[in-house]
Amino acid sequence: MISRKFRKIVFGGDYNPEQFPKKIWEEDMRLFQLAGIDIATLNVFSWSLNQQDEETYQFDWLDEVMDMLHANGVQVCMGTSTAAHPAWMAKKYPDVLTVTSDGKKRNYGRRHNSCPHSPTFRHFAGIMARKLAERYKNHPALLLWHVNNEIGNRCYCNNCEKAFRDWLKKRYGTLELLNEAWYTRFWGHSFFDWDEIVLPSALSEGLSGGNSDQTAFQGITLDYYRFNSDSWLDCYLIEYNAIKAEIPDAIVTTNFQGNGTYKPLDYFKWAPHLDIAALDIYTENHTPESYMALRYDLMRGLKDGAPFMLMEQSPSVINWKTVNPVKRPDVMRLRSYQAVARGAESIMFFQLRRSLGAYEKFHGAVIDHAGHEHTRVFKECAELGQELQQLGDRLLDSRLKSRIAILFDWDNWWAVELGGGPSAHIKYLDQIQKYYDAFYENHIQVDFIHVDTELSKYDLVLAPLLYMVKPGYAQKLEHFVANGGTFVTSFYSGIVNENDLVTPGGYPGELRKLLGIWVEEIDPLFPDQRNGMVMKQGFGKLQASYECGLVCEIVHLEGAETLAEFDRDFYRGSPCVTYHHFGKGEAWYAATDPSREFMQQWIKALCERKGISQLYEAPPGVEVTQREKDGDRFTFVMNHTEQIQKMNVGRSVQKELLSGLSISGDIELEPKSILILQA
């Protein structure tokens, strides 16, 4: 296992000593020691410092920092410095600059500013990665590699346009197949020469400006999204391969942005090329904990359950929202453990020392502008650092187990939100979160899977809003259910194939046989509209009726049975939740967006039916997970509320790892507290 190179859950974060005079570096070393910091991410934004012109490279400053860190017991996560190109490069080789969706060539500035098809960028980024790998491959401080930073942007330049045509040639081979996939007979769009194809931008197919996904040709835009994700993966691989050429056993990764759900990059397609998955997580005080939980579980799912890195979080404030309040006491610690509880093997911050200038000078840091250890934030970090040292390697490589899987698919996400459908309020992440939350609130952990994941190891598979059904996936689901599995999906599913072309013959298309229904009409509701759900039979502890909204579909049964039906409108009495006995299993369909109450109780009943029970019975606001290794079970119990919570952790005595106490039976959880119980 790659992550076994870690000796414990590493603790540290981004460190930019190049912004400070050297006398500060020594003070930093003292403070790192105090805080138990043992990892520093270096060299993320120092391209212009490392390479002042086309010929001249200098890494003396980096040598010095590496040596100093090593001398102080701090390992290094080595950035490749390619996340922002130097000003001289933009001036000399303007192809590094991107073009916006509405055709504006950017000037030099900001970061994440390179075109993914700039020959200049690719050339110099590869050289830089190679030079760094050559220089530091034997340095004792080096732990792992961090390529670029929060990779991703969309460019609409001529180089990208040419590359898009090449990508399409590879994908389709002939224009005939491309014209078919894109349905170009519509609006007379047939292409007779590859060079007639232009990028789908705000100036071509875009329908409402560059920031929106609304497009006249969903197929073209969908392919551009795939292409753009692949383009950046290529750039990542240039650096990845340069490093591996020098250091075959290097651990190489990059930090995923957007809290791990960054729409432009298909992280499932990227994951095989990362030695360990890593994400940055930036949330607000009022962000619900299940929001983060989902993203950690998704990161774990990227590499089939392997641990991941929490590469960045803020110890307190962020700086880019309209209002950026401080993190309340104990919240940073609790939310850090939440990541560990779901598979993280690092707790890292942006940033170790707060900048004095430019955009992020008011972003939180372990060491504040005050510069000393006597701040609340530093003290909280230092306490956590000590605890992680005491925990040692105990949790490393332990796994979370689940008999339940939720499918997550970037292509589907892209396609379902490209516009022109029943309602722009139908959002993939909302639906995934809603189904996820039903498990979260029941203290039942789930895995996130991708379309290639083998289903047989699961009892329950969910694919909410499965608008796009890829080739063979319907058969895969049928096989899973026929062999006893339970499958759950929801409205607006089975609509299109992988090219966003409708499967004719009646919705839900390829899923119709499995679900035993025909969906005749899809009636979206306005945001303040609701319909009612009336239960037609008992199921678990479901009540007699619930509210629902967003979408109501008119469903005809073709073998399925009705759990609930609509209560209002001209389709009153028609089914809104159905299930279909299919082989040895069952296929469920929610033809609407039910209330959270229904979701929680329905999912609970579905789990009970499969013999899946919750980890503990715990009050709302208390989160429970379990990591396992070598027969040991580590149960995390986290009280996210501001009140004392009571629960029962069972009769057998367990050791609580942070306090060292032995615990059993009824317990009281302090506000914002965490227990790690070992059994």
Out of 239, 312, 510, 656, which one is annotated catalytic?
312
**Nearest CB to its own copies, comparing residues 27 and 628:** 27
CB-nearer residue toward its own copies: 197 or 299: 197
Instruction: Report the distance separating Cα 152 and Cα 478, nearest Å.
Output: 36
Which residues make beta-bridge pairs with 490? Answer: 590
* DSSP states along 162-219: HHHHHHHHHHHSSHHHHHHHHTTTGGG---SSGGG-----TTTTBSS-TT---BS-HH
Query: 305: exposed, middle or buried (C-beta count within 10 Å: 0-12, 13-18, 19+)?
Result: middle
d(CA 103, CA 563): 52
Q: Which is nearer to its own copies, 425 or 633 (CB)?
A: 425
C-beta closer to its own copies: residue 497 or 614:
497
Toward its own copies, which CB reaches closer, 532 or 583? 532
Pairing of strands 486-490, 447-449: unpaired
Q: At a CB cut-off of 8 Å and minimum separation 6, what does 471 contact?
A: 497, 498
- Please, which residue, 107 or 659, has the CB nearer to its own copies? 107
Element (H, E) at 381: helix 376-391
Q: Closest separation between CB of residue 50 and its own copies, Å?
A: 9
- Least distance to its own copies, CB of residue 370, Å: 4
Least distance to its own copies, CB of residue 374, Å: 9
Round to whole Å and give the CA distance between 515 and 492. Answer: 13
CB of residue 356 to its own copies, shortest distance in Å:
4
- Cβ distance 560 to 515 under 8 Å? yes
| Nearest residue (CB) to its own copies, 485 versus 494 | 494
Mapped onto helix, strand or coil, the DSSP state of residue 225 is: helix
The values of phi and psi at residue 489, to 5°, are -140, 180
φ, ψ at 133 (rounded to 5°): -65, -45
Helix (H, G, I), strand (E, B) or coil at 479: helix
Specify the residue, 79 or 343, whose C-beta has the smaller distance to its own copies: 79
* DSSP, res 312: E
The nearer residue to its own copies, 50 or 398, going by C-beta atoms, is 50
Neighbouring C-beta atoms of residue 325, cutoff 10 Å: 12
Q: Closest approach of Cβ 266 to its own copies, in Å?
A: 22
Residue 579: CB minimum distance to its own copies, A: 23
CA distances from 319 to 12, 63, 569 (A): 20, 31, 47
DSSP 616-664: S---TTEEEEEEEETTEEEEEEEE-SSS-EEEE--SS-EEETTT--EE-
For the chain, the first-to-last Cα distance in angstroms comes to 24
> Is residue 150 flagged as an active site residue?
yes
| Rounded-to-integer distance, Cα 175 and Cα 172, Å | 7
Residue 529 three-state SS: coil
CB atoms within 10 A of CB 652: 10
Specify whether the CB–CB gap between 29 and 72 falls below 8 A.
yes
DSSP state of 281: -
Element (H, E) at 405: strand 404-407
> CB of 101: closest distance to its own copies in angstroms?
11
Q: Which of 433, 441, 402 is nearest to 300 (CA)?
A: 402
The string of DSSP letters for 354-378 reads: --SSSTTTTS--SB-TT-SS-SHHH
Contact (CB, 8 A) for 84 and 112: yes
Provide the minimum distance between the beta carbon of 467 and its own copies in the complex, in angstroms, as a whole number: 11
Nearer to its own copies, 201 or 254 (CB): 201
Which of 150, 553, 586, 623 is flagged as catalytic? 150
Q: Which is nearer to its own copies, 312 or 500 (CB)?
A: 500
Helix (H) or strand (E) holding 586: strand 585-590
* Contact call for residues 554 and 574 (beta carbons, < 8 A): yes
Least distance to its own copies, CB of residue 260, Å: 23
Q: Are strands 632-639 and 622-629 parallel, antiparallel or unpaired?
A: antiparallel
Question: Which CB atom, from 44 or from 460, has the smaller least distance to its own copies?
Answer: 44
Q: In 3D, which of 554, 552, 574 has the Cα closest to residue 562?
A: 574
CB of 493 to its own copies, least distance (A): 14
Nearer to its own copies, 340 or 367 (CB): 367
Distances (CA, A) of 657 to 271, 288, 344: 32, 26, 17
Residues designated as active site = 150, 312
